[in-house]
Chain A
Amino acid sequence: MSQRGELPQWVDLGLIPLLNLAVALIVAGLVVVIIGENPFEAMWIMLDGAVGSLKGWGYLLYYATNFVFTGLAVAVAFHAGLFNIGGEGQAYMAGVGATAVGLGLEFLPWPIVIPLAILASMAVGAFWAWIPGILQAKRGSHIVITTIMFNFIAASLVGYLINYWFRPVGKMAVESREITGAYIMSFREVARDFFGVRVASSPLNFSVFLAIIAAVAVWYLLWRTRLGYEIRAFGANSSAAVYAGIKPDRIIVITMAISGALAGLMAVNEILGVQHRLVLGFVGGAGFVGIAVALMGRSHPVGIVLAAMLFGLLYQGGSELSFAKPGINRDMIVVIQGLVILFMGALEYAFRPALAALFFKAED
């Protein structure tokens, strides 16, 4: 009775996010007006660029695939009360795993190499998150600090590895040799080579199915298994979890490893699916976007898939917009994305009290 009354689910899960999105877009529109462009036109270019063509959709889904992986990574940890900010580094390290297997086992046929490379991505990502996990469980080092630090370590380490281990002698670009088996991941190349069909040129690849599988798997893990029950119990109330015989150390370490493995899958999309080689800085902030995606998606796989698609739309629509409108440059796009994160994540509950008051007034 100390709490204010609850709002019905459709308000909490439907109306409020839409309202926040609308406000974010209005404010973004005002910014566009200030720099002297037509906000409606800008909005149209963004939308058309993202969902107006198959190619646009391809890019949108390709971006969304990255964000689903990193968003799920953040969400799983979050259910255990852990804030894994290290998705960026875990994905980056995972790229090394994917490339090492992809190049090292080149002599094997792709049906063997590709699954192994995917497993390697997950394993290396899991390992890179497992270390902060074990540090928190055994030494009490805070996971937020250690995962941030591990992003920097990963950045330097992968840079070194690409330069000194993976870069072929004489090559100028800081990148590895091509992973020959990886072309099989690409929709475009498979369609052309196996079916003789030409599809719109986009980086969309088979990883998108992996993202769907990952989302379902995370849902199943959290809500249909004993381990998931323990993860959620520990995250919601650690002293109740201890009372129930759940071992905190074990949950922290396992959850971080799962989280890292999910972040590691992002490297599958980028390295195996698109670049087909290890390139410098391929994660490009997707690890951090994952935090916003998880926040917006309320750490639920369905919400994460929707939020990831919204960010995919902003990314793809945004780059179309900066092509079409020189006045609106790349930085403006970042501002718009920032506003969406601000209103949907940080100010998630800003309108809730007013809405609740309105709602109860109507009910009386």
Chain B
Amino acid sequence: MIPAIELIGIDKRFGTVHANKDVNLAIAPGSIHGIIGENGAGKSTLMSILFGFYHADKGEIRVKGKPVKIKSSSDAISMGIGMVHQHFMLVDPFTVLENVVLGAENGALIGPALDKARAELTRLAHEYELDVDPDALVGELPVGLQQRVEILKALFKGAETLILDEPTGVLTPDEADHLFRILGTLRDQGKTVILITHKLREIMAITDRVSVMRRGEMVATFETRKTSVEQLADAMVGRHVLLSVDKGKPNPGEVILDVRGLTWKDKKGVPRVDNVSFTVRKGEIVGIAGVSGNGQSELLDVISGIVKPTSGQVIFEGKDIGIMGDPAHVRAEGIAHVPEDRQHRGLIKEFDASESMILGWHHDEALGHGFRLDRAKVIARAKAEMETFDVRPPDPFLKSAKFSGGNQQKIILAREMLSNPDLLIVGQPTRGVDIGAIEFIHKRIIALRDQGKAILLVSVELDEIRSLSDRILVMFAGKIMGVRGPEADERELGLLMAGVVKDAA
């Protein structure tokens, strides 16, 4: 059979970085083909080449057996290749119909194109279970539906091959299941799907074949049903990794953090954190699960003092730290905070590593007297912390931006965890972090718990929450929907994340 897409000897360099090394890939028509690999393995570069964003230095692309030159995304679209980006390319104030037509207006007047699109949308919705109201404003749709609009856009433009880049990052487990059903239907109707992801379970659940990339190279391609999660993980990392977290029983002590009726309203007066109450004890990990954007980020901001609560209290060791609304004070009380967004908050990309490693702790008297900041002491601290957390390269003078995602995260974790906090707040500890580093980070968090420290963990990765937490809170629309133990059923947690409360909790 002639492959729908064939990449032969694709090679791409960015300066000194060799992003794709002689990559070969053949995608069978009418199949779902997964591409997995760690961050920086070259998956996105490869797909960007296929979609015309970058040009390969060497190599050939064949579509249905014919060699083609793809110079831009419109070339790719005209060859029947469509892409659904991780961050949607939609115009929020436009309707679904207007978004679908965007880029295919065909002439000065929009009317005929809209009519044609409306008819086509009805057909597509029918054929692929892609129901969306064509007149709804895109900005008002939930993310799951916005993603459907992206798929419709590609199909409307005649896509035969659909590339999806990390499509489930923003979806609830339920929405993800629905997406997979849609992808299954697309395949059954003869479309080809390329799924880029780092989630091994998705690969196992939905793909027919899977290719693994590592450091710019295509290392292996498997028939999905003949492989296993363990085999894929090992191929991604290039060594054997432990996927499950080794964790002993918790030994919870007294309550250290007591959040009471906490509410935070945004500028529009919408409660983003809505009457939230919970406690965290010494020696336990409390995980907050939820689809991103349901108030977890705001909750962390309030507890860490970045914003002041609208009402309610944050009692830490008997003191209300909520009313302070000052991260410096909160830190001084013994709370360390690993922010969710490491690039924009956790470190300063322009600073060298040693300077990023004192961010927030730069008033520490051990770093110099009075107004002075002793450079030698700053560097000595950075060196020591980099060694403890195995940051690579262990170079305190290297700019923070130059470290890989996993090592940037280790820089932040080292800074916050080695400040010897009584409570550690961690947001998305392993987002965009390599599997090898995830193992390390999880071990560190559990070790901190075993020292009798309290940990409040927020993650959108349900697996991570389940494997680390001693208790799980589920947030939806700013509210806590329920508290469960770590043994809780995934399906039940998924429903809570979607705001569905079953009785008898």
What is the interface of chain A, defined by CB distance below 8 A to chain B? 1-6, 223-230, 232-233, 236-237, 239-240, 242-246, 356, 360, 363
Contact = CB atoms under 8 A, between A and B. Distances in A.
B344 A245 contact: no
A243 B306 contact: yes
Given A4-B14, A233-B359, A360-B15, A243 B351 contact: no
Contact of B371 (A225, A240, A243, A244): A225
B327 A240 contact: no
A275 to B, nearest CB: 36
Interface residues of B, number: 37
The 6 A-B residue pairs with the shortest CB-CB distance, nearest first, are A5-B15, A245-B328, A244-B360, A245-B327, A5-B16, A243-B345
A244 B373 CA distance: 16
B371 A1 contact: no
Given A225-B373, A237-B349, A239-B344, A244 B15 contact: no
A interface: dominant SS: helix
B348 A236 contact: yes
Contacts of B331: 245
A237 B14 CA distance: 26
Contact of A244 (B45, B362, B372): B362
B169 to A, nearest CB: 19
Contacts of B363: 226
Given A240-B347, A245-B326, A230 B14 contact: no
Nearest to A225: B371
A245 B327 CA distance: 5
Nearest to A5: B15
Contacts of A223: 375
B14 A2 contact: yes
Nearest to B327: A245
A1 B48 CA distance: 14
A251 B330 CA distance: 20
Contacts of A2: 14
B350 interface: yes
Contacts of A6: 15
A309 B359 CA distance: 36
Contacts of A244: 327-328, 359-360, 362
A232 B327 CA distance: 18
Contacts of A246: 328
Nearest to A233: B348
Interface of B: 14-17, 19, 40, 45, 304-306, 326-331, 337, 339, 344-351, 355, 358-360, 362-363, 368, 371-373, 375
Contacts of B371: 225-227
9 contacts: A1-B17, A6-B15, A226-B362, A236-B349, A240-B344, A243-B306, A244-B328, A245-B331, A245-B360
Q: Which of A226, A239, A243 has the most CB of B within 10 A?
A: A243
Given A226-B371, A229-B355, A356 B15 contact: yes
A67 to B, nearest CB: 26
A225 B306 contact: no
A104 to B, nearest CB: 33
Given A223-B375, A243-B346, A243-B359, 9 more contacts: A226-B372, A229-B373, A233-B348, A233-B351, A239-B345, A240-B344, A243-B360, A244-B328, A245-B360
Contacts of B14: 1-5
Contacts of A232: 351
Nearest to B356: A240
Contact of A224 (B45, B329, B359, B375): B375
Contacts of A3: 14-15
Given A4-B15, A243-B337, A225 B359 contact: no
Nearest to B399: A6
B359 A240 contact: yes
A177 B404 CA distance: 65
B160 to A, nearest CB: 29
B375 A243 contact: no
A299 B266 CA distance: 37
Nearest to B329: A245
A250 to B, nearest CB: 11
A4 to B, nearest CB: 5
Given A224-B375, A360-B16, A237 B344 contact: yes
A331 to B, nearest CB: 40
B19 A1 contact: yes
B306 A1 contact: no
B16 A224 contact: no
A242 to B, nearest CB: 6
Q: Which of A1, A4, A223, A227 has the most CB of B within 10 A?
A: A1
Given A224-B373, A225-B371, A5 B362 contact: no
Q: Which of B306, B331, B339, B373 has the most CB of A within 10 A?
A: B373
B327 A237 contact: no
B17 A5 contact: yes
B362 A230 contact: yes
A240 B15 contact: no
Given A1-B14, A245-B305, A240 B346 contact: yes
A347 to B, nearest CB: 22
B188 to A, nearest CB: 37
A332 to B, nearest CB: 40
Given A230-B362, A237-B348, A243 B327 contact: yes
Contacts of A243: 304, 306, 327, 337, 339, 345-346, 359-360
A236 to B, nearest CB: 5
B348 A240 contact: yes
Contacts of B328: 244-246
Contact of A1 (B40, B345, B359, B368): B40
A78 to B, nearest CB: 13
A236 B373 CA distance: 18
Nearest to B328: A245
Nearest to A232: B351
Contacts of B305: 245
A184 B329 CA distance: 50
Contacts of A230: 362
A130 B355 CA distance: 28
A7 to B, nearest CB: 9
Nearest to A230: B362
A242 B306 contact: yes
Contacts of A225: 371-373
A336 to B, nearest CB: 34
A229 B355 CA distance: 8
B16 to A, nearest CB: 4
A239 B368 CA distance: 25
A363 B363 CA distance: 44
Nearest to A242: B306
A246 B330 CA distance: 13
B373 A242 contact: no
Contacts of B368: 226
B350 A236 contact: yes
Nearest to B368: A226
A240 B342 CA distance: 9
Contacts of B348: 233, 236-237, 240
Contacts of A1: 14, 17, 19, 40, 45
A228 B372 CA distance: 9
Q: Which of A4, A226, A245, A246 has the most CB of B within 10 A?
A: A245
Contacts of A360: 15-16
A139 to B, nearest CB: 17
A9 to B, nearest CB: 12
A99 to B, nearest CB: 32
A242 B304 CA distance: 11
